[in-house]
A and B are shown apart, each in its own frame.
Chain A
Amino acid sequence: MNRRDALGRVGLILGGTIIGAEFFMSGCKSGSTVNTADLAKPETTAFLDEVGETILPETSTPGAKAAKVGAFMAVMVRDCYTEADQKVFQEGIGKLDEASSKKFSKKFMEATAAQRTELLTELDKEAKDYAKKRGADIDADKLKHKDEKDYKGADIPNHYFTMMKQLTLLGYFTSEVGATKALRYVPVPGKYVGDYPYKKGDRAWALS
């Protein structure tokens, strides 16, 4: 890899943001007190599979469940998240279920596909608003610290749904079905063409 593409390995770049980067690059301590084994329980991965499938459903190409994003989320949260993020994620599962109960008087797993989509669309908006406010709070906190060198970053957690969505996207688009069926995956390009006409509407390339 070239030094210049260092970003590429961190995760997918989508919509101008690097998916997953802020979780994987954070320097906080893990050494967790959160029981991440719970995440690997079949009922939890099944739950996360359905969350993922609602975010990226099966269409003409397989959905997130076919890419086993539930198990992927469990592994990534257990191994790659900091303790603080693990806690937010784990509590998020309960919160999501609670939101479903409140809205539909049904747990998430019992809700219909349409209800799930409706709920997660709301949560997506909530998470986006939260992220905006979080960004502003962090900027304000930065201003309070004059010497950037010693600034460790504000300790403001992310929204649990941001985590679930980003892990779904990362897991899906780097999975076999996501990379090869939904995207164009070329492990061995064999060529580099510097000037290539851009045609809008092509399928996007998967990470190598």
Chain B
Amino acid sequence: MTVGQSVPRVDALDKVIGRAKYTDDLCDKNAYIAKILHSTIANGIVKSIDVSEAVKIPGVVKIITCFDVPKFYFPTAGHPWSTDPAHQDVQDRLLLTDRIRFYGDDVAAVIAETEVAAKQAVEAIKVEYEEYPFVLDAQEAMKPEAPQLHEAYPNNILGHSAIRRGNYEEAIKEPGLIKFEAWYETPTVQHCHIENHICYASMEGNRITVVSSTQIPHIIRRIVGQALGIPWGDVRIIKPYIGGGFGNKQDSLYEPLCAYLTTQVGGRPVKIDVTREETFVCNRVRHAIRSHIISWVRPDGSFAARKLECFSNQGAYASHGHGIAAKGMNAFPQLYPVDNVECDSYTVFTNRPVAGAMRGYGIPQAMFAVESQTDDIAIALGIDPVEYRRKNVMPVGYVDGFSKNENYFDSFNQCLDKGEKYLDFNRKFKEYQNQTGPIRKGVGCSVFWYNTAVWPISLETSACRMILNQDGSIQVQLAETEIGQGADTAFAQMTADALGIPFNKVHVISAQDTDITPFGLSAFASRQTYVGGFAIKQTALLLKERILKYANELTRMPAFELDLVEGQIIRKGDGRVMISLADLALEALYSLSHAEHMTSESTYQIKSNAYSFGCCFAEVEVDIPLCKVKLLDIINVHDAGMLINPALAEAQVHGGMSMGIGYALSEQLLFDPKTGKTLNDNLLDYKLSTFMDHPHLEAQFVENYEPTSAFGTKSLGEPPVCPVAPAIRNAILNATGVAINNIPMTPHILFDRFKEEGLI
């Protein structure tokens, strides 16, 4: 068995020695380079474009402006398509646009022989704009007098959803209730994957091939088809290794434009290699969400009624849209069940960079708000924050009516036990209360809610193909993508065990090619190990059936008395090895009496989902006069079901914790209130946390076998980022007595809050 073992990654060697090929490694060195002209206004229209100087620059091949492109409005979100128009993503993008909706919108593209010529030409294009007033704040954008971004969405409201359960107004009349009310604010952050988005496109015959750094090749094929108004089968997408995505590449970025540009130069390869500045401004960002929570709490800490309002800043285009705010809202009454609850979430267009999917998909925002208030309530009532959570969090046996997710195990308490013990939380929490002096320590904790994959909100399906080679090894292919998280290795482990062959006999075809790879939905929603597991198990069993049927011919033993174990066909009765799979495969492929190419291929449609829970505990040291927080220690504990590869699982948690640390303490995109321009579109001014900002990152697990899953596993990709920021916030509260309701908790914020509270 290799499932459950920390086998080395199947791509480790290639990646370490630099042999692994990424998009730019594969691109023809003679490809044309395309550079995009981005708007320098935040709202308005393009009145005219003068390219007369730009086309004179040596090396410029062609300039395409917003007035040249076809007007097929397309959606960009990397969601499964819906054949029901009511459930389709909003189609509001064009390849290039004359209706500018944010500072950085795509106005024109230069195709040139070199990057320098392309850049010079972009500088030389003159654009005449008509400027409109713009709005950057979600709640401001909802006011009647605010500038309107999209005609179909009055008051800029892209989506509004609500929950009404029980009777809030009646419930709050209960005598003796204590009211807690606060606003919590989370920032716009960016994924900061190390490889910026890059793609190149070329033509053969009437078909367009796009090689792209994407998470979602099959979805990109559909979107390129939609954007260009061509049959989807005329598009071929290839996805090689990619340098991270974190949700930004769960969106169509510049693949449609690149595909269009190659059609304008006779199908010659055209490359769009996005800069870091463009990644920050012109790709996708995380939704900034402002949440307002009112809780009516009994003296014993139980909730009589709760109200949540949240306002999610969508930026200029719909992308993943309201799904993010809605997910956060839906988690609210599940994490701490309450009989009387009113929730409203709004997703609002503003003239800011477009928000899309990002690791956690609304839950890091929601957890910051919810888990900050959890501590405020516990502390006000004099209850230990861990005990408070144990008493009020989702109980064992809880079933969500919509997803049918069930809390089968006592995961929360098991995770809290481990976190509490690691950090010696109880002792430290008491010891650190009521400190004086300039340097103070504190501990904090947070739990989180998550689920796995997207069922029942949308389609969940996975398809797999396996092919047997002469030596008994196999190729395995899935549409689920390797994006750095180690998916290929987990798939190889599951395949080896499900089929009954050694791990080193499994060759994962890492790259997806929509002409060849079975159809599927790819990497998002922490789904791949869960959904891929079904398709792998089912396909492996089909292949095994074929193998054993063939073995029957060779061994004269009935197939049902045979099994495939570690690459050997054995007789079940006595365990005797009848023939090796290698010998069988050789015979099957070269037999003069019965030759057979052994493959299997199948689709599994998943109609289940699974809760994935855990917690974070953090210890900080706050230097009050310097307004600085030093993270001393941090642990995440997860119940992600059974771990396929513990070392990879730990690495996932480390990455998520790191992202959470930056979210809590330093990362934030800033916008110029006068122009709408993004101020810090680079990795110097955008304070991604570094190795020197991290203490040891401790990752621990509780492994409860997930009963709905093919391998007992469930989501782990996104969950690690979800509980980190509130745990750090609560640690600062323990250290200083100051509750901070805005992240990131930078020195700027701490300076203001410490002054307000009289600490400095």
Asked if chains A and B come from one complex, the reply is no
